[in-house]
A and B are shown apart, each in its own frame.
Chain A
């Protein structure tokens, strides 16, 4: 299973995602931002970080790079695309998932482990969890507050993938912190599954996100 890991100038979770994909049994490969043809890949992950320094707005500059055209093709080919943290912000900025991720309610960077509820298992990434399962993963972001005007629509269409359980640290609407497109193949999550892929680091609850990609037929 060949999985493209997109690198922008300023990505900083690329090596971590690469490592987690290997742990899950995948065959990851780095893809530089100027590559346009991605159709040789079976799936794509956009890792976190601060693409282009998050200057202007998180994800804004990355969203107009050539690699985005390639990702749109991959989406048309009905292959899984996962955006994590800055990757999620980029997918929202491009419009491949509904809504936006904007400044946290306290306007500060927050790094902590949180409890999450898996609210939809129809995406490849959450297919190995049980619906309603509570998992632990870290968050680390300053612009992670989810907002959408189409809250009823995404609820009705089963596009809400992850919610904060208990505390809602960044003030997201309905505590939502992971959403997918209508097909369920494109998924954007703020928490970091790759940081919860080894029990020595405190949790391996996130590994199934990557195993789910490998299991995708």
Chain B
């Protein structure tokens, strides 16, 4: 029983009676935070959601933006945190499955996946187990369905030990004229349920996702984790694509959280209509399921089609070809009620509005007090610091992870995992980019700048590839929103994200909120995972690896003494404290525009590499460029643009100040390029040799040693 007293009262008022047990169960899942966004909805209104390219903003299964005159990008994001904490393999797999269905249900072919993953430290055996099986779950599912996993991120930190975060982005491509939506606008149309059979798995999946976990959860809540079947999913995908091509499909929606209850009530509700569902028609996996179980089941791989009565036979023929169970389960009515019948007898009758639009809860927000004292930290030798940072699992190469993902299927992936963002081919001229980013440490220290920084970093990443940011989707992972401190974090974070999104006029077109990421008093660091898609000409693609000896290295953007919250503090000193890097909207916007402008007008291909500065600061960014290119560099920190003369070399090298990009430029074009840059920028060094050398001997380290630190780190733990 999770409905609150005031919600029970609201329901009684609406119905004029007490709900029966089936109705109570249906209301219970629809009123869960997961389905209703009852806490977050008022705050999410801050996001800019419109723009000239937006075809569909938040509110449906996924958002849609225009790519070309003919094509559109469909993109969505989802979390599967609680299921992955309990059963990592199945939890992660069904997370992928859910978001793939969301993309298919807009009529699109899914073309790319990204995963943002957060786990406990690799030293911890259980965290290694969860990490290994989440990655395996993603690999087995995504690879089988034939959708390339092209990017993402992985973070390891103590606070995710009991509550790992598994966030998945899926992008699809659809012809604009073929877009379908999750609606049932015409009375008399038929609901056809297709795909996997309905079983007892996943019952109360959404309500368990809307509560804190406990140590008993692993045993008690396993039945709430759905069981995925990538093979059936692949058939559902192919059959859906064929149905969309051959039959007039009026509406289409997948069954995810909240199962049939959520799907049918939302489809009918959107058109102000009602619906009638006959339970005995539903293909079941196990006998003698109760109406309650059938309506609440979250069994995977199911879709509901809305079609005209005369098209039903043709539709069923297609599903027969793919040997998928399918049945007519009901029809669209004009009553405004969702009526459930069993053998013709009405067993539940609720307004679709009541189900799909529960009352909002005004949560209290309170800024937490910071009690810890600020500790003074001694600087250590920068070369030791660089090597240590490169070998920390958070910065080290993630090859162990992405090797297990098929990132090439569908032959679109131009820039593969390991760069700032993936680049995927649209046609012979155009490509789109995808990245997902989050700094949970910054967000913990300052949710406004953490949220703003996540959007800024994701935008920098797509800009670094040479693309213009097109849209944002997000997954906001927080603790229990009933706690005022958590709700304050959430509010501040969304404000920060919105401010950057508005500055860049980049709309937030879809997203997901995951609250209750707490286990027995441990709350996860607030983690606003931001995915950005960009659009570009294939000829403009830039990658991060150093290309030619003699190229000049330019740093765009100012460096500030901003070590608080940095990887340097965290990985070297084990300290998280103070004020994290601030986001200055103006400089962020100007730096990004400067880089895009340079690349777009770079007829001579004078700009040979681009990389943004983020985790680990300038030093790590340069090392990544050198390792990827197999060429070293010589750097002079005195040239680095900085506001403050007294800034130390350690701060110049390891501060994680925003709004910064590194470019390499062919030396014969240097003056011309510099003359075009109208933001703080300077030549800080040259690409050369087999070493990274900073200020003579401040850092002087062979590429082989850098590689040795950066590569094989995760492999050592997972062997």
Contact = CB atoms under 8 A, between A and B. Distances in A.
A157 B406 CA distance: 34
B231 A12 contact: no
A217 B234 CA distance: 37
Contact of B231 (A16, A50, A195, A201): A50
B495 to A, nearest CB: 40
A111 B234 contact: no
B250 interface: no
A112 B416 CA distance: 10
A52 interface: yes
B409 A19 contact: no
A192 B412 CA distance: 14
Chain B CB within 10 A, most for which of A12, A194, A197, A198 = A12
B469 to A, nearest CB: 23
Nearest to B230: A53
Given A195-B411, A201-B411, A111 B404 contact: yes
Given A16-B409, A52-B231, A140-B143, A108 B414 contact: no
A53 B408 contact: no
A194 B143 contact: no
Contact of B146 (A20, A49, A109, A194): A49
Nearest to B413: A201
Interface in B400-419: 402-414, 416
A144 to B, nearest CB: 12
A201 B431 CA distance: 12
Contacts of A54: 144
B605 interface: no
Interface in B411-443: 411-414, 416, 425
A138 B416 CA distance: 12
A9 B146 contact: no
Given A50-B143, A50-B231, A138 B408 contact: yes
Given A12-B234, A52-B231, A200-B538, A140 B408 contact: yes
A92 to B, nearest CB: 20
Contacts of B235: 9-10
B425 A201 contact: yes
Interface in A44-79: 49-50, 52-55
Interface string B215-229: 000000000000001
Interface string A102-118: 00000011111000000
A112 B323 CA distance: 34
Contacts of B407: 111
A12 B109 CA distance: 12
B411 A109 contact: no
A190 interface: no
B525 interface: no
A10 B231 contact: yes
B145 interface: yes
The range of chain A's interface size is 20 to 34
Contact of A50 (B144, B405, B408, B416): B144
Contacts of A109: 139-140, 143, 403-406
Interface in A4-22: 9-10, 12-13, 15-16, 19-20
A12 B404 contact: no
B717 interface: no
Interface in A82-138: 108-112, 138
Contacts of A108: 136, 139, 403-404
B480 to A, nearest CB: 37
B225 to A, nearest CB: 20
A15 B410 contact: yes
Interface in A184-206: 192, 194-195, 197-198, 200-202
A13 B148 CA distance: 11
A154 to B, nearest CB: 29
Contact of A111 (B145, B146, B405): B405
Contact of B411 (A16, A49, A52, A53): A16
Contacts of A19: 411
A10 to B, nearest CB: 5
A50 B140 CA distance: 10
Contact of A195 (B146, B403, B408): B408
Contacts of B238: 9
A195 B136 CA distance: 23
B322 interface: yes
A140 B410 contact: no
Contact of A200 (B140, B408, B416, B425): B425
A13 B144 contact: no
Nearest to B431: A200
Interface string B25-44: 00000000000000000000
Given A110-B404, A200-B538, A10 B234 contact: yes
A185 B226 CA distance: 46
Contacts of A194: 411
Contacts of A49: 146
B323 to A, nearest CB: 8
Contacts of A13: 146, 409
B143 A9 contact: no
Contacts of A55: 231
B322 A9 contact: yes
Contact of A12 (B145, B402, B412, B416): B145
Contacts of B403: 108-112
B387 to A, nearest CB: 26
Contacts of B404: 108-111
Contact of A140 (B140, B323, B409): B409
Contacts of B143: 50, 109, 140
A53 B235 CA distance: 10
A109 B144 CA distance: 11
Interface string A7-47: 00110110110011000000000000000000000000000
Interface in A154-204: 192, 194-195, 197-198, 200-202
Contacts of A12: 144-146, 234, 409
Chain A CB within 10 A, most for which of B136, B405, B408, B413 = B408
B317 to A, nearest CB: 14
Contacts of B229: 53
Interface string B120-146: 000000000000000010011001111
A198 B231 contact: no
A130 B416 CA distance: 29
A53 B233 CA distance: 10
B414 A200 contact: yes
Interface string B322-344: 11000000000000000000000
A13 B145 CA distance: 10
Nearest to B142: A109
B535 to A, nearest CB: 17
Interface in B247-274: none
Contacts of B405: 109, 111
Nearest to A140: B406
A19 B413 CA distance: 15
A97 B674 CA distance: 61
The 8 closest A-B pairs by CB, nearest first: A12-B146, A53-B231, A50-B144, A140-B406, A16-B411, A109-B404, A195-B408, A138-B408
Interface of A: 9-10, 12-13, 15-16, 19-20, 49-50, 52-55, 108-112, 138, 140, 192, 194-195, 197-198, 200-202
Given A110-B404, A202-B414, 4 more contacts: A9-B231, A12-B234, A55-B231, A108-B136
15 contacts: A9-B322, A16-B409, A108-B404, A109-B143, A109-B403, A109-B404, A111-B402, A111-B408, A140-B408, A195-B409, A198-B411, A200-B425, A201-B408, A202-B414, A202-B416
